[in-house]
A = this chain, B = another copy of it.
Amino acid sequence: MISTEKFIQDCLLVRSQSPLVHNITNYVAMNFAANSLLAVGASPLMSFYAGEMEEIVGIASALTVNIGCLDENEMEGMRIAAATADRLHKPWVLDPVGAGASTARTQICKELIGFHPTIIRGNASEIACLAGVCVEKSRGVDSSMASDDVVEAAKALAKASGSIVSMSGATDYITDGERVETLRNGDPIMSKVTVMGCSATAVTGAFAAVDSDPFTAALNAMALWGVAGEKAAAVSAGGTGTFAVKFMDALSTSDAAADALLIRQ
């Protein structure tokens, strides 16, 4: 079970420490991910320029790498950043967007996993693919599988990689290969707004920056994110434009103690 105390502690630490989180993310997500980080209290920096990767990782408290929009230059930045985080023992989060949708995506993910991501955060299709149980061609970047059907694969990926696996879906699953925690907050509208998953990855990076236990960091980040989504959905009447605005409002005005009461496992 999630610890209310640790959840509140992590939320408050992000606001008090305002960790610098370095993000290599896709062009679709950059603005929303940066705003998600500011909303929870962190300080975002978005850059994939190889010429500054080592320096930026060096001053950051955590790194997130999201492979959403591939590009030769960006992939080079990803490799240097991940290698630097690995070498400096800084927490880093891999978001394998669209793994399985193309050979290149699956390939760069496997390569990056070699740099020991602290946490791998993705949807069910992506996690299944990386676990080697991709039974059908992924439908682009949206999941074609339910997270409930991929729990064993998520555990296997965690064991094989040594990373915490954080899989979003109707139910979110966080596992280290042995333990499995679930989170049942959120709302179906979240799958109708782009880059919500990338926002989850960014927030996970902020929590990994302040919590040395990546399992609780991943769990608490997804709890905050899911509760914010649920609160926003309740006041959006199905409009995805309003939902996106209210989601950012919920993140930025979140009260950790009050939110803790809303977590459903």
Assess whether B28 is in contact with A52, with CB atoms less than 8 Å apart. no
Assess the A28–B30 pair: CB atoms within 8 A.
yes
> Within 8 Å CB of A242, what residues of B?
245-246, 248-249
Instruction: Establish whether residues A26 and B52, one from each chain, have CB atoms under 8 Å apart when the complex forms.
Output: no
* Chain B residues in 8 Å Cβ range of A28: 30-31, 34, 46
Question: Shortest CB–CB separation between residue A11 and chain B, in angstroms?
Answer: 16
Chain B residues whose CB sits within 8 angstroms of the CB of A237 once the complex forms? 253
* Cβ contacts A136-165/B at 8 Å (1 or 0 each): 010111100000000000000000000000
Contact with B along A21-42 (1 / 0, CB 8 A): 0100011111110110011000
Stretch at the interface among A81-89, A95-103, A171-179, A216-224: A95-103
Q: Which of B26, B31, B72 contacts A195 (CB 8 A)?
A: B31
**Known contacts A52-B103, A238-B252, A239-B253; can you find 17 more A-B pairs with CB under 8 A?**
A27-B46, A28-B30, A31-B32, A38-B192, A43-B141, A44-B140, A44-B141, A45-B141, A49-B70, A51-B102, A51-B104, A52-B70, A52-B102, A55-B101, A55-B102, A73-B73, A241-B246
Residues of A within 8 A of B (CB): 20, 22, 26-32, 34-35, 38-39, 43-49, 51-52, 55-56, 59-60, 68-73, 98, 101-105, 137, 139-142, 192-195, 237-242, 244-253
